[in-house]
Structure 1
Amino acid sequence: MHRIRLLTLILCAALAATLLTSVTARADAHPRETGRTVSGPGTPRAEVGLDPATGTPTLAVTRQGRTVLEPSPLGIVTERADLSTGLTLTGRTDREINEHYTTAAGKDRTRSVRMHEARFRFRSTATGARLDLTVRVSRDGVAYRYTLPATSGNVLGETSAFTLPGDAAAWLGAYRKDNENLFNGYGATAAPTGEYMMQGLFRTGSGDGADYALIAESDLSGSYAAAHLTHTAGSPTYGIKLWDGTPIQTSGTGTLTTPWRAVITGDLATVTQSTFTDDLAPASRVRDTSWIKPGKALWTWLAGGRAAGQSLEMQKGYVDYAAARHWPYTVVDAGWYFDPAQWDVTDPDWQQNSWIPELVRYGRERGVGIHVWIHHRDLDTPEEREQWLPTLEKWGVKGVKIDFMDSESQATFQWYDQILAATAAHHLLVNFHGSTIPKGLQRTWPQVMSFEGVNGEEKKTNTPQHLATLPFTRNVLGSMDFTPGAFHKPDRPNAGSDAGELGLTVLYESGIQNLSGKPGSYDARPVARTFLEQLPNAWDETRLLAGAPGESAVEARRSGSRWFIGGTYAGAARTAAVPLTIGHGTWLVETVTDTPAGLVRTPHVVRGGATLSVDVVANGGFAAVACRWYAGRTDC
């Protein structure tokens, strides 16, 4: 009996060892069927290359057999090792990632994440230094990042780059520290020498065989600095530059994992509807999110300027107007704390001199929350944050609009780490201006309602082409505070189309949709005012209906059972054909369009999947709302 038990134990141990060896082999060896390929069902295919002569790693991306990225350089250089050449591949492990999460703001409320991940382990033949490359593929993208041991030293730069097919088209914005520049169209190879924002869109192929690639980054924290693109005219390759070239300071006490370099890819609808940069980011660090409520806001800067920010009575008038529209917020911009006689911070009771608590009380009685603008320089130290944030929370302020960071350095992202944790702790919604762009931060810190990072409504340099490019570039990456609705501005590029301006309130997603018109400008356009009163505070689903970068964009966003549609067009007047791909059945669609007599609301009964015809003026657009039709229904 003991011999039988002993034999059984030996056999079980042998079987366990065999199974363990088998699992390890599958994880560490290079499977014959995949080699250095990373792919999953229905995903693009990423191919990690390694030049046998130089030991230089590359990454290529294909989709359905078509080239999205040619073999593109990989690598990172530290003060102790050049990990871009002379490498050997020593192992590989694979795993599947399946996650589900919800968001307060964004293009879709509920998200499902399915990715295949492969981790490649490299070693320098010259120094023995180690480098891990992690590659993820999803239905809508390919991403990679590096992991280095603590002994690697400070990072001097990356050799990471993206090489496009020679005939690719590009839509790029010249880089500036607040990401506020126009997007323009180029040939990818012919684009001028220069630096470009890390949100470059590329098209390869044409017609039904066209693929798009939007280059971005995700999961960026104070352990690193933001990157942007560099290009030399005549080359199909776009390199990576870290902020201003300053070395990344590492602690030396743990491994360094870099941000994801992401390529959102697919057809234009897949790219536009993608949540890939959020999907790559860490899960929410805010446990109780019940206080996080997105919504529309009457933003008073373009409506009244600094004078409005200095006047309690004017602000009360804005609260009354927002309350009548059922808009949940107003935003008090610059001016409210810049009176030296009012703000003597050496006075222990300096906070009591503000009229903001009175405005908060007034708004609360009318169902309107108050957000306040504040300069970054007043929150850039722990002492200042401890002075301001608990005070604003005590007053009952709902959110802060923080402005003028004007940097994407490692030190600035360390500040982002601190201010994000602090605003969450004090239950303050956040809108960053003069800032970086989302980079996945809205998943990790869901109190972040929006970022500027866009050449928005305040600017006088916008073009119709820029308006028609933003839905395919900047707004793909997360909420964008363009601040639409400024009907009173004569210098807007769609100045001849109030319907086009109205459509931007749907087309451009923002957790806080700051409506920038004057109350009188809404009252003068009752059709627009009624539409804005119907506009939801958040979206459940987003679909691209039509468009092409720089030419036009039409998106539908669902809230409950209703769809809202916004469209913008660059160029001549036309009758636009919009595929109504919002579901089967019959829909009542109320369009808002321009006529010589002003805005007109027109009902249409349309079958799902059919084409909706909409008259659009030159450099104009339209807005619409759609609901299920039944006999006798005349409005949504």
Structure 2
Amino acid sequence: MKSLIYVSVFLLVFIARAQNKTIASPNGNLKVIIDVIDGGVIYTVKFDNTIIIENAPLGFRTKKADFTKNLTFVNAESRKVSKTYEQDKIKQSQITYNANTLRYTVKDSKDRQFSVLVQVSDNDIAFRYEIDKWGETRAIVVEKELTGFSFPQETSSFLSNAMRPMTGFARTAPSYESAYTADKPIAEQTAGGGYVFPALYKVKDEYWVLLSETGVRSLYPASHLSAYQDGTFYIEYPNEKENNGFGSSGAQLGLPGVTPWRTITIGKSLKPVVETTIPWDVVEPLYEPSQEYEYGKGSWSWIIWQDASMNYKDQKAYIDLAATMDFKYILIDAWWDERIGYDRMKVLIDYAASKDVGVFLWYNSNGIVNDAFQTPLNKMNTSIERKKEMKWLQEAGVKGLKVDFFGGDKQETIRLYEDILSDANDYGLMIIFHGTTLPRGWERMYPNFVGSEAVVASEMLVFVEDVRKKEAYNATLHPFIRNAVASMEFGGVVLNDYLNRGNKSGQRRLTTDAFQLATGVLFQNPVQMFALTPNNLDDAPKFELDFLKELPTTWDETRFIDGYPGKFSVLARRNGNIWYVAGVSAESEPKKLELDLSFLGGRIATLINDDKNAETFTKEIKIPKNGKLNLTIQSGGGFVIVNE
């Protein structure tokens, strides 16, 4: 008996001291191996026993210490995580998350320790650094991370360039408004400024990998990916030129402290990518909502009628539009303070309330980091002015704000985002961000956060001909990349033939009505301001308006149906008992599909689609009992199926 006990203890000690550690997903298909080789921490990722990431580096450097080399293994601890939660403003409302975890701890020559915490579910990996107190040290500055992602050479990529700071309109870049390139070999991804999250890869022409980060708040900057170098994409902190060159690009961190989570989603199809909930699985709400916030659609004059519409008469017309369409909100954009004024705005807000329409108002986020001149200005960037303004907004009955033109991803800007959100919750205000960074778990972390732009959105259709030509191409990318990890306030669904107030000539829309309606389903955001104009009540077909009246903006379930980034995309979303199936195509010829809609087999549904002349029509159909539905999408067209 004593011998058996001795052997058991020996084995336990041996296991604890072995520095090569493997953690597998609950189903065993996804594995992460962590090791210390030549004093550096590395990790490898395998899916179905195929190497996806190999010997990628981990570690970081602070002002006082270098934790990228001369490290030794201390111990490793394994556990399980299981939780079920509800989230009412993402792609799924009821989520169950099960993962195995590994906390892998190392130290430097002075016995200063940090851990890599890895959580592995069936298709997702989330990892972060956890840093203990070092003697009397309670505060550090992290200057750089070595964190990397090393893919096989046989990998193609779908990446968006990080915008060059202090360029573009009024020096407001970066704002995550650079388009994605599709299917580009990773060896060619050498842009000097790197690439923003999320980033999509296809490994060995068989496995899809989505990289992103989550849990970013005031305690850390947001990061991005470096250009491809030495076989690896590295985590990089914000460009020092952001915020007009003011402020540190590093992370000011109190000890003990943690970094944001970096996430990896892997699958043999795009289904795990589209359906992942990992950005919200590993974060928790930071405060309680001050009230029950309501989500829905809104009208927005600026996107088509532009600055000239910022007057009392036009905004009243858009309130009437919202009321007629059963929309919950109107967004009143820049210059309202000067061209309508606070007193008349209060009258306008009261008029909207009489029509059961809530008001969102636009604000410039700052007055110190770029040259954006639109007003209201200098109302959101200081605590005193912000709270004074929000008190008036609450008393006036405003429901939410759109805050625009942020300065970058440095920690001080992330702190501004959090301060605006936290203060707004105190005054019962929802927040949408434009000219902004990617939201990183914010739908769950901040109860009053209701969306961000951070994409080549509808305004670029008006301003840039090339974006108009690539509208369908871009739309086929978003469900698999940008909108897969965060809500996306796109401001789309344009039914004008021309993207201007006259709707007679000028910038012609190059996609069909069915395409536009489909994006209302494909692009997910709990509060979505659509680009309808008052004239659409007379010149758009009634069945299209009826569809938009009923279209929800929150979903209980999302499913990948078919698609390929840059070519076509088909998703299904469920609200209650009603399924919406939507697709768009960017291919040059009509796309013939056989859709597997077995979850709708035998049901009657309404189809909106385009004929060969790109004319949008509607009809009633019956889904075959086996769920196999043959359907054609026109080039630049789309379709929507709604089950009855």
TM-score, scaled to structure 2: 0.86
User: Which letter maps to 2:156?
Assistant: A
Which of 218, 222, 227 is matched with 2:214 structurally?
A: 218
Paired residues of 1:227 and 1:243 also in contact (CA < 8 A): yes
- Could you tell me how far apart the structure 1 residues matched to 2:317 and 2:9 are? 68
- Pair 1:280–1:597, CA change in 2 (3 A): closer
For the pair 1:92 / 2:107, whether they are aligned, the reply is no
* Residue in 2 that maps onto 1:197: 196
Q: Residue 433 of structure 1 contacts residue 452 of structure 1 at CA under 8 Å; is this kept in 2?
A: yes
In structure 2, what is the equivalent of residue 242 of structure 1?
A: 237
Contact 2:238–2:249 (CA under 8 A) maintained in structure 1: no
- 1:371 counterpart letter in structure 2: F
User: 1:359-399 CA distances to partner (integer Å, 9 max, x unpaired)?
Assistant: 22212222111111111022000011112111111111111
SS at match of 1:37: strand
Q: Please point out which of 225, 236, 245 is paired with 1:229.
A: 225
2:181 pairs, out of 175, 179, 184, with 184
Q: Is structure 2 residue 352 aligned with structure 1 residue 359?
A: no
1-side partners of 2:15 and 2:392: how far apart?
58
Show the 5 A alignment for 1:572-591: 572-581=588-597, 583=599, 585-591=601-607
- Alpha-carbon shift at residue 249 of structure 1 (Å): 4.7
Is 1:515 aligned to residue 530 of structure 2? yes
Give the counterpart letter for 2:480 in structure 1. Answer: F
Contact 1:250 1:256 in 2 (8 A): no
**Alpha-carbon offset, residue 429 of structure 1:** 1.0
Partners of 2:440 and 2:279 lie apart in 1 by: 6
Match of 2:59 among 71, 75, 80: 75
CA distance in 2, matches of 1:29, 1:218: 35
Distance 1:323 1:423, change over 3 A: same
For the pair 1:132 / 2:115, whether they are aligned, the reply is yes
Structure-to-structure mapping, 1:22-33, within 5 angstroms = 30=15
Query: Equivalents in 1 of 2:459, 2:22: separation in Å?
Result: 46
Q: Are the aligned partners of 1:76 and 1:84 in contact in 2 as well (CA < 8 Å)? A: yes
8 Å CA contact 1:545–1:578 kept in 2: the answer is no
Q: How far is 1:521 from its partner? A: 3.2
Structure 2 residue corresponding to 1:485, chosen from 487, 493, 496: 493
SS in 1 for 2:535: helix
* Compared CA separation, residues 500 and 588, structure 1 to 2 (3 A): same
CA distance in structure 1 between the aligned counterparts of 2:329 and 2:140, rounded to whole angstroms: 47
Per-residue Cα deviation, 1:423-469 (whole angstroms, up to 9, x for no partner)? 11111111110111111011011211110000111112431322211
Q: SS state of the match for residue 468, structure 1?
A: helix
User: Quick one: distance in 1 between partners of 2:584 and 2:65?
Assistant: 50
- Which residue in the other structure is 2:26 paired with? 41
Residue deviations 1:579-614 (CA, integer Å, cap 9, x gap): 243615412232212234832002210136533233
Aligned to 2:105: 121
What is the correspondence of 1:244-323 to structure 2 with a 5 Å cutoff? Answer: 244=239, 246-250=248-252, 252=254, 254-266=255-267, 267-283=269-285, 285-287=287-289, 291-309=292-310, 311-323=311-323
What is the match of residue 12 of structure 1? none
1:564 to 2:580 alignment: yes
Structure 1 residue 623 displacement after superposition: 2.1
Give, in angstroms, the shift of residue 573 of structure 1.
Answer: 2.9
Greater alpha carbon shift after TM alignment, 173-182 vs 242-251: 242-251
Label 1:193 to 1:437 Cα distance change in 2 as closer, same or farther (>3 A). closer
Letter of the 1:136 counterpart: Q
Instruction: Please state whether the residue corresponding to 2:239 is helix, strand or coil.
Output: coil
The structural deviation recorded for 1:94 is 2.1
Over 3 Å counting, the alpha-carbon distance change for 1:496 and 1:385 in structure 2 is closer
Corresponding pairs, count: 587
Identity among equivalent positions (%) equals 25
State the alpha-carbon separation in 1 of the partners of residues 40 and 18 from structure 2: 23
Aligned partners of 2:529 and 2:147: how far apart in 1? 37
Counterparts of 1:188 and 1:237, CA distance in 2? 9
Q: Distance in 2 between matches of 1:582 and 1:336?
A: 50
Of 217-226 and 359-368, more deviation after overlay is shown by 359-368
Look up the equivalent residue of 1:36 and give its one-letter code. K
Question: Is the partner of 2:346 in helix, strand or coil?
Answer: helix
CA contact (8 A) 1:58 1:71 kept: yes
Q: CA deviation at 1:406?
A: 3.2
**Separation in 2, partners of 1:336, 1:511:** 24
Q: Is it true that 1:172 corresponds to 2:187 in the alignment? A: no
Q: Secondary structure at the match of 2:80?
A: strand
The aligned counterpart of 1:333 is 333
Q: Answer yes or no: is 1:505 the counterpart of 2:513.
A: no
Distance 1:190 1:494, change over 3 A: farther
Determine helix, strand or coil for the equivalent of 1:469: helix
CA distance in 2, matches of 1:587, 1:406: 50
Instruction: Encode CA deviations 1:233-273: one digit per residue, 9 max, x unaligned.
Output: 6x541111101254535355x32211111112223111111
2:237 and 2:626 mapped to 1: Cα distance?
45
Residue 532 of structure 1 deviates from its aligned partner by 0.6
Q: Distance in 1 between matches of 2:226 and 2:350?
A: 50
SS at structure 1 position matched to 2:84: strand
Question: What does residue 169 of structure 2 align with?
Answer: none
Contact 1:407 1:436 in 2 (8 A): yes
Question: Alpha carbon RMSD of aligned pairs, Å?
Answer: 2.6
Q: How far did 1:489 drift?
A: 6.0
The one-letter code matched in structure 2 to 1:155 is: V
* 1:394 matches 2:391: no
CA distance in 1, matches of 2:14, 2:217: 33
Tell me the distance in 2 between the aligned counterparts of 1:519 and 1:488. 10
Gaps of at least 5 residues in structure 1 are 1-17, 344-352, 628-636
Equivalent-residue separation in structure 2 for 1:55 and 1:603 (angstroms): 66
* SS in structure 1 at match of 2:610: strand
TM-aligned CA deviation for residue 287 of structure 1: 4.7
Shift in Å, 1:327: 1.0
* Structure 1 residues 304 and 494: CA distance shift in structure 2, 3 A: closer
Kindly indicate whether the alpha-carbon contact (under 8 Å) linking 2:104 and 2:116 is maintained by their aligned counterparts in 1.
yes
**Given that residues 198 and 215 in structure 1 are in contact (C-alpha distance below 8 angstroms), is that contact kept between their aligned partners in structure 2?**
yes
Distance in 2, matches of 1:25 and 1:416, equals: 50
- Retained in 2: the 8 A contact 1:523–1:529? no
SS in structure 2 of the partner of residue 338 of structure 1: helix
Taking a change above 3 Å as real, the CA distance of residues 71 and 493 of structure 1, as seen in their structure-2 partners, is farther
Residue equivalent to 1:5: none
Write the letter of the residue equivalent to 2:195: Y
Q: Secondary structure at the match of 1:231?
A: coil
- For residues 483 and 403 of structure 1, the distance between their equivalents in structure 2, rounded to whole angstroms, comes to 14
The alpha-carbon distance between structure 1 residues 29 and 458, as it changes in their structure 2 partners (threshold 3 A), is: farther
Deviation at 1:25, TM superposition (A): 9.3
Decide whether the 8 Å contact of 1:573 with 1:619 is kept in 2.
Answer: no
Runs of 4+ residues over 6 Å off in structure 1: 22-26, 491-494
Residue 381 (structure 2) aligns with? 380
Offset from partner CA, 1:479-517 (integer Å, 9 cap, x none)? 101111123264789714221121111010011111112
2:540 maps to 525
Pick aligned residue for 2:36 from 39, 42, 50: 50
Deviates more, 1:541-550 or 1:128-137: 128-137
Q: Which of 621, 629, 632 is equivalent to 2:638?
A: 621
Kept in 2, the 8 Å contact 1:576–1:613? The answer is: yes
Partner of residue 451, structure 1 = 452
1:543 counterpart (559, 563, 582): 559
Letter in 2 for 1:280: V
